Chain A
Amino acid sequence: MSDLIKVTIDGRDTLVKRDTTILQAATDLGIEIPTLCHHPALEPYGACRLCTVEVIQDGWSRLVTACNYPIRQEIDVLTASEQVVRGRRMIVELLWARCPEAENLQELAARYDIETPRFALREGELCYLCGLCVRLCDEIVGARAISFVSRGVDREVGTPFYKVSEACIACGACEFICPTGAIKVTDVTDKEPRPLLLDFDVGLRGRGNIFIPFPQAVPNVPVIDREHCLHFQANACGVCDVVCPPGAVDYEQEDEFIDVEVGAVVVATGFDPFDATRKPEFGYGRYPNVISGLEFERLASASGPTKGKIQINGTEPKEIVFVHCVGSRDKAGAATGAGEEYCSRICCMYTAKQAHLAHDKISGARITVFYMDVRAFGKGFEEFYDRVRAEGITYRRGNPSEVYKRGDKLIVRAEDTLLGRTVEVPADLVVLATGVQPRADADQVAEMMGLAFSDDGFFAEAHPELRPVDTHRPGVFLAGTCQAPKDIPDTVAQAKAAAARTIVELSRVREGVA
């Protein structure tokens, strides 16, 4: 007996190993068979019956489920015969009647030209018992916190005796894999789920344990968070390896430390954004619609968590207030760690840009910027500031003192110092122009590189006017915001200067001058 068995799917021949499922053989041929309950990392289940296909063997025809039908002899498979489509249509109709609000079933119904199911609708039901959650919890996570309970029409997913599960580890896999949002991890356990948040999106979006840190990451490949990965922590799961088509996942890979001999080093370790929770009067961290400048940046970005839609919990704000100088120009705050004495130099212009974006993206938005001075000192900056005001964005002089809630609205309380009057401005979104701070780990870098600090906590250059990219350590240079707050043009200029400076240093070494 040959190892390989011939199978014909929709008229195309292929050779498969014994016990390959029809679904697998078809997928390998690029033929799509719809399924709702199949997952490559889980055992075949055959619950939804949607993958029904027609098998013709020895002249006899019958309908089977492709996901769990093992090929053991030569067969002929039809994935879209009239009989198959008729049967599948009925299955979609029945499933849709059970879960009329499930979006994936609505799409399937449209594909099979079903306008409305002929059966009684089960309003509010989202679970069609595909069992993905139950099987994932059992086979992959190993917690077995949920199962099917009751029988017949009462069958549903639940915990034993409907009690709060002790076995659940609050990993959230059930909620993640559920195609319709029928199950929430909070239905299963009262343990607090701790979602893993994507740093690059300032925590506005969750991430898995295997993820690409940010779109421009170098190298642009996923990394595994070993601290939280079930495979590393409990020797379980391994789903990423199963589903990765080229088999690129390598659990054996280790961090490598590489020693490199160099003639010069450019320190460009950047900054930390000011943490606005240190200014409790603005309610940051308390109200979801008080956000930092960096968070707004991600919301407005096409590659961000909302794909560029400025939304808070799915709602588009109509009244937006920007607050300048949060954590900057704050001598009193500097004494208590709640601010910095210097001007962060970027907030005036990024706020102007963000106000412009908000105006652009939200038609009819009422946008107010509270400022105490507008420092539009760069090339083209004043012109941009003029343009933003000409778009109808209101600039009011006065730095707000407080943000609080009144009904559904936020209230920004400030003195309009030009009117000499205290005002309460209602807002759906408050954006705090959070400033620039030295990195929290700057001490370690300074120790490693032998760097000194300026009074403001940034790395000190050798001379503020004459040696702006040098440090007191020969061969070590500074670029960007690790030296002082600066915007992109200034950062690029300084980086190029630092690069040029390293070339001087290296050529000296080569020519034996140094």
Chain B
Amino acid sequence: MRVNTRDFVQEYTLLECIQCGRCTGGCPVSMKTALNIRGIIYEALIEDFMEISGMEVLWDCTNCLTCTTRCPKDIKPADVIIGLRGYIVGEGKGVPPRVRDALMSAFTRGNTLGFATEGRDAWTEGLDFEVPNVLDAGQTDLLFYVGCTPAYDPRIQPVTRALANVFQRAGIEFGTMGIDEMCCGNEIRRIGEAEGFADMVEGFHEMLQEFRAQRMVAVSPHCFNAFHNEYGELPFPVQHYSQLLVDLLEGDKLVLPHEVRKKVTYHDPCFLGKHNQIYDEPRQILRSIPGLEFEDLDRSRERSVCCEGGGGRMWAEGTNVEERLAHQRVRDAVDLGAEVLAVACPFCLLTLEDAVKILGLDDKIQVMDIMELVAQAIGD
């Protein structure tokens, strides 16, 4: 696949690049793989055409956004990767098989995991109340967007249920789109499937004609990011659950009476932190839990390190499977003396928990979603 770089550099304003290297210098995978976004931009600048077939490192990018955050010239290197992936996806050759499967499943089944569409509300099993369907009801206060992984993955389902429980307890009128809910497409766009993503956005806007809601909340920072930043104008504000929980805590709608006597640290999900600057809310929730001792990791907030679960990397191993950033992250948390490594993202939960198991550190540290700690503090 030959990319016409003359058009490409204009589209991504690459001519302003001064080759300072802050993008690659900050890139979390650049120490372990040959991915060098600064070098790719340089090649695009000096060559008329760029051959990207077989450029496997393009699939190493997690879209953590460190490069874009650090760029002094307001270039968006993370978008450059997405753009180049777009050429590969468009041509259909060289897409990693599991990424291809996820894409396929997203379009045919509405979820990236390859599960049956009908199973999307299976997460509600075990709740002691019915979760209303907004498409039936026609209107609701809070649209609860569940998302693929929170709906299907058995490890994440308890997180989703815990959140629904909080809504129920707080007396919030809420509902989901049931089995008609479709994948948000955040990862689809990052895999480079721009047209497919545009269709998903259109589909969602069409569904919005069927009901009215005052606001919307998402479990995953990835879904939140898509709706918040990439869905155009929505008729209601979108929040990540951590923001909504802070509102509930501050309005005394959510009380946390039970102590959770644990030393906890927190891993900033990229799509909550670097992408959306939501750093304080998850910490505020953790600090509101009685008995909980909170301490930040050295590399936290905008200096946080990616777990390698974003940007399609949940389905692509990348070119270096041996060294995982999640392993280092878990080790750092253990060194800090934390008993719990808290997250607020289903992908982070899965990658970091895998790391704990692989490193055999189960007896030292537990990876938990903030929602699970909140559930303990509520007494559920």
Contacts and interface: CB of A to CB of B under 8 A. Distances in A.
A415 B38 contact: yes
A344 to B, nearest CB: 13
A280 B16 CA distance: 24
12 contacts: A280-B303, A331-B73, A402-B25, A402-B70, A404-B298, A404-B299, A413-B25, A415-B24, A417-B20, A422-B24, A422-B27, A422-B36
A293 interface: no
A399 interface: yes
Given A401-B66, A404-B303, A420-B36, A332 B298 contact: no
B25 A400 contact: yes
Interface in A394-441: 397-402, 404-405, 413-417, 420, 422, 424
Nearest to A418: B21
Contact of A415 (B18, B36, B302, B303): B36
B72 A401 contact: no
B302 A280 contact: yes
Interface of A is mostly: mixed
Across the A-B interface, give the 6 residue pairs with the lowest CB-CB distance, nearest first.
Answer: A401-B26, A401-B25, A415-B21, A398-B21, A415-B24, A399-B20
A17 to B, nearest CB: 64
Given A281-B302, A415-B36, A420-B36, A400 B22 contact: yes
Given A373-B18, A405-B298, A413-B25, 6 more contacts: A281-B302, A398-B20, A399-B22, A402-B25, A413-B26, A417-B38
Q: Interface centre among B18, B21, B66, B301, by most A CB within 10 Å?
A: B21
Nearest to B68: A332
A333 interface: yes
Given A280-B302, A404-B303, A422 B31 contact: yes
A372 B23 CA distance: 13
A372 B21 CA distance: 8
B124 interface: no
Nearest to A422: B30
Contacts of B301: 280
A339 interface: yes
B18 A329 contact: yes
Interface of B: 16, 18-27, 30-31, 36, 38-39, 66, 70-74, 298-299, 301-303
Given A401-B22, A415-B36, A415-B38, A335 B302 contact: no
Contacts of A416: 21
A414 B70 CA distance: 12
Give the interface size class of chain A: 20 to 34
Given A333-B72, A372-B19, A420 B25 contact: no
A82 B23 CA distance: 78
A448 to B, nearest CB: 34
B71 A402 contact: no
B74 A402 contact: no
Contact of B26 (A330, A332, A335, A402): A402
Nearest to A402: B26
Contacts of A330: 72
A403 to B, nearest CB: 9
Contacts of A332: 71-74
A281 B27 contact: no
Nearest to B72: A330
Q: Interface centre among A335, A405, A414, by most B CB within 10 Å?
A: A414
Nearest to A287: B298
Contacts of B25: 398-402, 413-415, 422
Interface in A353-382: 372-373
Interface in A273-291: 280-281, 283
A27 B205 CA distance: 92
A283 B303 CA distance: 9
Contact of A331 (B21, B24, B74): B74
Contact of A372 (B18, B27, B298): B18
